[in-house]
């Protein structure tokens, strides 16, 4: 499920600088410069024109096309500061690999050395973050600086400065998403690896643009991180406090999770859910009084929007920002933040010639699925005839008509036969320390169907560390380093929550290990996009109770999980659609003010609701689809989450079909970073799409509706 993004995910999203530039452009003759190099020296077109036949003459007519492409790619990025015409010509003559043997040597050397570079950078980062990430005692102020330092921040600049980037651009092809989709299935693995090598240098972004992106990221991240509601200070019309003292919920993640938890509260649950819905709506419309945000000094009725000095104390006095009964609404700050992200992305546009918008970068480069294809998948879910059928089932279980917050209905999830306390006790006894979990890894992997050889190999490549926070997986970037599994271990031993996370992270580590150590080309290591590594981790996590010796879920429980997947995919499709429409609107209205963007977003959220949700919820004009905090923090991450939810179902369905996780897992993971569709065809025989989810939901409805 969507949750606050770990730093590693944000870094990964930022790092996936994929496929750009010149190769799209058959329209450019050798004498013509691509339009994307505003800093090109005047002599460059002539130099390119002269060198193309020279290289073809020297290495044979067979090299003409390669030479032309390579020269065009270098010209795309060459600036006056990189050297004069003589330097350019000398560089090209010295570095064009015109025969296969030289090209092989060049490719192999770059592959080996890129692995060394990435691997050691990752080890430095890991070491510098160790005090922050692990349960190792107090964090001193300078530890934050070590943790924030990114040793690889200037590598791309350095490689343009020392011309290694130009060596790659002269010899290996930059590609567009269209080419990768159209031709990629026919490429050899080596050709794919060459494509990923060239992609590393597909952008040359000036430092001031990177700085603007980093600043926007920091400012919006801070805004979201501090956007809490003090729930004891939400009062209903009778002045009742429905939530306990001290409860502080971060928007929107914790608010949504509280709605989910409130289904179990037979007494006040419904009233609480309605109140949270009103609060969320006021955040989206920015009618929320500014003074109530992250402030336990006032009481607030989200229905009437009345504010009073707090009549109850439940916090440290330092947390109180104001006690003023001031109902002045937040001045569209939420949308000012979004415009900040937009402004930074617009600066980047100029350096992204073939993906010249944030939308194109998200779809073509990050997701590597066409925007129209994602749109079509969203439509398939939103307009599925299964939606009203699942909605009626939820209503029959709730015994009342749906209300808008039932977007987050979670009653399909199978109930555990054991209480959390029983599970905690079992886990603490089994894993008193991180080392105890480490020791058990081979055994856990055998239970998941890995061979003894695989289990031994993987266990030798995974190091378990006690985490300071909730946990994460930190893979290696070179084969000589292990992957790290971080999970929380309390003084009393691991609890069930920590164990559940550990099993998830172990899935990441196994993917990371196979896709780095057992892949044919390290340049292809990894997965097509974030959704794939999450899908593989969910496969592990879904078996955590079986690994504790509990029985496998029965058919009804499995059906419940599928219905839960479907209902959240429906919700994700809605919020992803809203975010895509909002970005399209911003590009169509680049001069918009925060209030204008607020009004447009509210309008888009309402229209999306009225079209796809109102027919089953029987309520008009709901704005809840605009509440996701990701929207304000990371451009266009929600389409990613939506695609990830489909990928997870496809991967799980394949594991079930194959009947074993171990061999399937390695087979899938060593495909590496090709396009999502190619990966999925290799893994399951079908491209990425909602069919597995829709088929599964149809079957699940039949299963649970059986008397
Ligand atoms: Zn994960």
- Going from the Cα of 508 to the center of ligand 1, the distance in angstroms, rounded, reads 7
Q: Which parts of 16-139 fold into alpha helices (H)?
A: 44-59, 64-77, 85-95, 100-133
- Going from the Cα of 501 to the center of ligand 1, the distance in angstroms, rounded, reads 9
- Going from the Cα of 8 to the center of ligand 1, the distance in angstroms, rounded, reads 10
Q: Would you state the structure tokens that stand for residue 224, as one six-digit string?
A: 């979201």
- Going from the Cα of 648 to the center of ligand 1, the distance in angstroms, rounded, reads 12
- Going from the Cα of 146 to the center of ligand 1, the distance in angstroms, rounded, reads 24
Judge whether residue 14 has pLDDT over 50: no
The tens digit of pLDDT for each residue in 616-626 reads 999 999 999 99
- Going from the Cα of 5 to the center of ligand 1, the distance in angstroms, rounded, reads 10
- Going from the Cα of 255 to the center of ligand 1, the distance in angstroms, rounded, reads 21
Judge whether residue 548 has pLDDT over 60: yes
Q: What is the pLDDT of residue 88?
A: 98
Residue with the bigger pLDDT between 568 and 149: it is 568
Judge whether residue 83 has pLDDT over 90: yes
Q: What is the pLDDT of residue 417?
A: 62
Cα separation, 277 vs 282, whole angstroms? 9
Q: What is the pLDDT of residue 8?
A: 39
- Going from the Cα of 25 to the center of ligand 1, the distance in angstroms, rounded, reads 38
Of 1-10, 508-517, 574-583, the least confident: 1-10
Q: What is the pLDDT of residue 25?
A: 30
- Going from the Cα of 486 to the center of ligand 1, the distance in angstroms, rounded, reads 12
- Going from the Cα of 534 to the center of ligand 1, the distance in angstroms, rounded, reads 5
For 175-226, the DSSP string reads --HHHHHHHGGGS-HHHHHHHHHHHTTS----HHHHHHHHHHHHHHHHHHHT
Q: What band does 627 get if pLDDT is binned at 50, 70 and 90? A: very high
- Going from the Cα of 504 to the center of ligand 1, the distance in angstroms, rounded, reads 6
Report how far apart, in Å, the C-alpha atoms of 707 and of each of 194, 684, 702, 703 are: 57, 33, 10, 9
- Going from the Cα of 622 to the center of ligand 1, the distance in angstroms, rounded, reads 31
Q: What is the pLDDT of residue 468?
A: 87
In 297-309, which positions are buried (b, 16+ CB within 10 angstroms) versus exposed (e)? bbbbbbeeeebbe
Q: Which pTM was predicted?
A: 0.88
Residue with the bigger pLDDT between 264 and 18: it is 264
Judge whether residue 33 has pLDDT over 70: no
Pick from 219, 222, 212, 218: nearest CA to 349: 212
- Going from the Cα of 376 to the center of ligand 1, the distance in angstroms, rounded, reads 26
Q: Would you state the structure tokens that stand for residue 651, as one six-digit string?
A: 């991967």
Judge whether residue 5 has pLDDT over 50: no
Cα separation, 425 vs 323, whole angstroms? 44
Q: What band does 27 get if pLDDT is binned at 50, 70 and 90? A: very low
The tens digit of pLDDT for each residue in 296-320 reads 999 999 999 999 999 999 999 999 9
Judge whether residue 602 has pLDDT over 60: yes
The tens digit of pLDDT for each residue in 483-536 reads 999 988 989 999 998 999 999 999 999 999 999 999 999 999 999 998 899 899
Cα separation, 462 vs 449, whole angstroms? 18
Q: What band does 7 get if pLDDT is binned at 50, 70 and 90? A: very low
Residue with the bigger pLDDT between 36 and 500: it is 500
- Going from the Cα of 606 to the center of ligand 1, the distance in angstroms, rounded, reads 32
Q: What band does 668 get if pLDDT is binned at 50, 70 and 90? A: very high
Judge whether residue 223 has pLDDT over 70: yes
Of 236-245, 323-332, 406-415, 628-637, the least confident: 406-415
- Going from the Cα of 215 to the center of ligand 1, the distance in angstroms, rounded, reads 26
- Going from the Cα of 471 to the center of ligand 1, the distance in angstroms, rounded, reads 9
Q: Would you state the structure tokens that stand for residue 618, as one six-digit string?
A: 């029987």
Q: What is the pLDDT of residue 350?
A: 85
The tens digit of pLDDT for each residue in 417-471 reads 667 889 999 999 999 999 999 999 999 999 999 999 999 999 999 999 998 887 8
CA angle, 188 then 519 then 168, to 5°: 55
Judge whether residue 72 has pLDDT over 70: yes
- Going from the Cα of 537 to the center of ligand 1, the distance in angstroms, rounded, reads 6
Across the strands, what pairs with 299?
Answer: 308
Exposed, middle or buried, 288 (CB in 10 Å: 0-12/13-18/19+)?
buried
């Amino acid at each position: 499920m969507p949750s606050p993004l770990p730093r590693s995910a944000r870094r990964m999203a930022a790092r996936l600088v994929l496929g750009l530039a010149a190769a799209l452009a058959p329209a450019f003759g050798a004498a013509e410069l691509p339009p994307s190099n505003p800093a090109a020296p005047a002599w460059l077109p002539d130099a390119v024109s002269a060198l193309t036949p020279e290289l073809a003459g020297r290495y044979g007519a067979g090299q003409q096309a390669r030479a032309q492409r390579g020269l065009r790619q270098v010209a795309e990025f060459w600036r006056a500061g990189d050297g004069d015409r003589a330097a350019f010509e000398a560089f090209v003559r010295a570095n064009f690999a015109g025969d296969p043997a030289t090209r092989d040597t060049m490719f192999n050397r770059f592959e080996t050395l890129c692995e060394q570079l990435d691997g050691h950078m990752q080890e430095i980062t890991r070491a510098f973050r160790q005090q922050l990430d692990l349960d190792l005692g107090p964090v001193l102020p300078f530890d934050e600086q070590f943790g924030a330092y990114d040793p690889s921040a200037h590598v791309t600049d350095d490689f343009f400065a020392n011309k290694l980037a130009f060596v790659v651009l002269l010899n290996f092809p930059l590609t567009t998403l269209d080419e990768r989709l159209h031709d990629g299935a026919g490429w050899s693995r080596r050709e794919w690896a060459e494509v990923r090598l060239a992609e590393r240098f597909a952008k040359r972004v000036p430092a001031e643009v990177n700085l603007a992106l980093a600043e926007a990221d920091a400012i919006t991240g801070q805004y979201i991180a501090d956007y809490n509601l003090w729930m004891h200070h939400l009062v209903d019309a009778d002045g009742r406090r429905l939530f306990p003292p001290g409860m502080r919920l971060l928007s929107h993640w914790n608010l949504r999770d509280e709605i989910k938890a409130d289904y179990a509260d037979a007494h006040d649950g419904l009233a609480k859910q309605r109140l949270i819905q009103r609060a969320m709506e006021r955040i989206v419309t920015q009618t929320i009084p500014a003074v109530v945000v992250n402030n336990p000094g006032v009481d607030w009725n989200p229905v009437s929007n009345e504010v009073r000095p707090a009549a109850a104390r439940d916090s440290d006095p330092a947390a109180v920002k104001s006690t003023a009964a001031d109902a002045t609404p937040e001045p569209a700050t939420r949308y000012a933040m979004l415009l900040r992200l937009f402004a930074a992305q617009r600066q980047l546009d100029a350096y992204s010639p073939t993906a010249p918008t944030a939308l194109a970068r998200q779809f073509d480069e990050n997701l590597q699925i066409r925007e129209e294809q994602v749109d079509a998948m969203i439509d398939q879910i939103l307009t599925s005839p299964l939606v009203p059928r699942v909605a009626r089932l939820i209503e029959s279980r709730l015994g009342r008509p749906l209300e808008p917050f039932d977007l987050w209905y979670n009653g399909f999830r199978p109930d555990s036969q054991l209480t959390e306390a029983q599970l905690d006790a079992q886990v603490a006894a089994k894993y008193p320390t991180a080392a105890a979990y480490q020791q058990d890894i081979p055994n856990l992997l055998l239970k998941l169907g890995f061979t003894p050889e695989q289990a031994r190999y993987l266990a030798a490549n995974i190091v378990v560390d006690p985490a300071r926070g909730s946990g994460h997986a930190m893979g290696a970037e070179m084969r000589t380093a292990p992957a790290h599994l971080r999970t929380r271990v309390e003084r009393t031993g691991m609890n069930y929550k920590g164990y559940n996370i550990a099993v998830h992270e172990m899935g990441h580590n196994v993917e990371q290990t196979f896709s780095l150590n057992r892949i044919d080309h390290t340049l292809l290591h990894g997965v097509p996009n974030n959704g794939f590594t999450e899908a593989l981790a969910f496969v592990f996590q879904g078996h955590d109770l079986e690994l504790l010796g509990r029985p496998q879920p029965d058919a009804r429980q499995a059906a419940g999980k599928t219905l839960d997947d479907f209902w959240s995919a429906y919700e994700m499709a809605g919020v992803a659609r809203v975010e895509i429409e909002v970005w399209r609107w911003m590009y169509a209205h680049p001069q918009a003010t925060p209030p204008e963007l607020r009004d447009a977003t509210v309008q888009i959220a309402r229209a999306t609701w009225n079209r796809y949700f109102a027919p089953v919820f029987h309520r008009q004009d709901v704005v809840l689809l605009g509440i996701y905090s990701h929207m304000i923090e990371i451009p266009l991450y929600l389409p990613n989450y939506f695609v990830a939810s489909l990928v997870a179902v496809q991967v799980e369905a394949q594991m079930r079909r194959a009947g074993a996780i171990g061999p399937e897992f390695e087979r899938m993971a060593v495909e590496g970073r090709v396009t999502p569709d190619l990966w999925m065809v290799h893994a399951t025989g079908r491209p990425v799409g909602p069919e597995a989810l829709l088929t599964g939901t149809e079957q699940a409805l039949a299963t649970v509706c059986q008397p």
